């Protein structure tokens, strides 16, 4: 393990990457104490504060934990964690080892309803992209999805946008990264129409997911209502205590 002080890559970042690798490799075993912050600082010939920045980030991400007066240790978890976080349908399916796909069912530019304008925090007479798609996994229907995106935040859309990464387009168009989403999950039973589009029996269990996604400054840029097949989809996530 060594660092390159001349590299344009920040030192704390180099340390983080190497420690993550060592944890994944098993070179650093779960519950094993790391060398102390002062040892790392001396070993690399850098300041202790720089070491702390690296370690603090890894603690926040759950790779390490600290104990006052004792030391810093490797966390047991995190080795097999998909580490999902906020993902698009496409990323979600890929991380499950399935081939994502999509069939456009409807596209329109519509005036915002009162409900959507309020959720999206946009002016009342504003226009929204309305995109309804059947989402596929390994060519089999997995979910039915209706997205609403303010025209102001995406500009004109065409078929190419529906195929490639919409999230990247949004980040570029607004010059601001995506940072958070609020989701609401509720069980239900498939309606006649949902059942037909998803290829299941009416009355079969479905998982309704409503998502509102926000840019870094807290502006909402999309609202999505979807219905996932209960027989093929389990929603998995990780939560942190307090914060």
* Residues in region 30-69 near its own copies by CB under 8 A: 30-31, 49, 60-62, 65
225 part of the interface to DNA, by CB under 7 A: no
Cβ count within 10 A of residue 235: 10
214: contact with its own copies by CB under 8 A:
yes
Q: How far is the CB of 71 from its own copies (least distance, A)?
A: 12
Minimum distance from residue 176 beta carbon to its own copies (Å): 9
- Is residue 53 part of the contact set for DNA (CB under 7 A)? yes
Query: Restricting to residues 69-108, which ones interact with DNA according to CB under 7 A?
Result: 69-72
Scanning 33-41, 76-84, 122-130, 232-240 for contacts with DNA by CB under 7 A, the matching segment is 33-41
Q: Which residues contact 167 (CB under 8 A, 6 or more apart)?
A: 88, 178
- How many Å apart are CA 67 and CA 36, to the nearest integer? 12
Instruction: State which residue, 33 or 205, has the beta carbon closest to DNA.
Output: 33
Q: Biggest alpha carbon distance in the chain?
A: 68
Which entry of its own copies, DNA, none binds 38, CB below 5 to 8 A by partner kind?
DNA
In angstroms, give the least distance from the CB of 68 to DNA: 5
- Nearer to DNA (CB atom), residue 38 or residue 163: 38
Q: Verify binding: residue 174, DNA, rule CB under 7 A.
A: no
* Among the listed residues 36, 118, 183, 216, the single contact to DNA using CB under 7 A: 36
Instruction: Give SS3 for 14.
Output: helix
- 179 sits near DNA (criterion: CB under 7 A): no
Q: Return the residue of 98, 116, 127, 181 that touches its own copies, per CB under 8 A.
A: 181
Q: Are 127 and 153 in contact (CB under 8 A)?
A: no
- Burial code of 58-81, b = ≥16 C-beta within 10 A, e = fewer? beeeebbeeeeeeebbbbeebeee
Can you read off the two tokens belonging to residue 242? 């307090």
Restricting to residues 100-159, name those near its own copies by CB under 8 A.
121
Q: Which residues contact 170 (CB under 8 A, 6 or more apart)?
A: 149, 153, 154, 178, 215, 221, 222
């Amino acid at each position: 393990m060594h660092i390159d002080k001349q590299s344009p890559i920040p030192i704390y970042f180099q340390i983080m990457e190497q420690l993550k690798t060592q944890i994944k490799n098993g070179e650093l075993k779960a519950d094993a104490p790391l060398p102390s912050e002062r040892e790392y600082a001396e070993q690399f010939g850098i300041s202790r504060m720089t070491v702390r920045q690296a370690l603090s980030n890894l603690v926040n991400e759950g790779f390490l934990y600290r104990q006052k007066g004792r030391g810093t240790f490797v966390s047991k978890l995190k080795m097999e964690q998909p580490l999902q976080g906020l993902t698009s349908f496409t990323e979600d399916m890929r991380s499950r080892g399935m081939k994502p796909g999509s069939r456009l069912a409807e596209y329109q530019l519509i005036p915002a309803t009162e409900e959507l304008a309020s959720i999206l925090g946009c002016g009342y007479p504003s226009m929204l992209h309305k995109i309804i798609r059947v989402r596929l996994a390994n060519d089999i229907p997995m979910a039915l999805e209706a997205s609403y995106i303010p025209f102001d935040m995406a500009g004109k859309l065409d078929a190419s946008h529906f195929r490639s990464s919409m999230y990247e387009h949004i980040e570029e168009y607004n010059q601001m990264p995506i940072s958070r989403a609020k989701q609401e999950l509720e069980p239900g039973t498939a309606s006649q129409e949902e059942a037909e589009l998803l290829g299941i029996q009416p009355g079969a269990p479905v998982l309704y997911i409503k998502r509102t996604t926000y840019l870094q400054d807290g502006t909402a840029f999309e609202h999505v209502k979807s219905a996932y097949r209960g027989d093929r989809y389990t929603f998995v996530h990780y939560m942190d205590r307090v914060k």
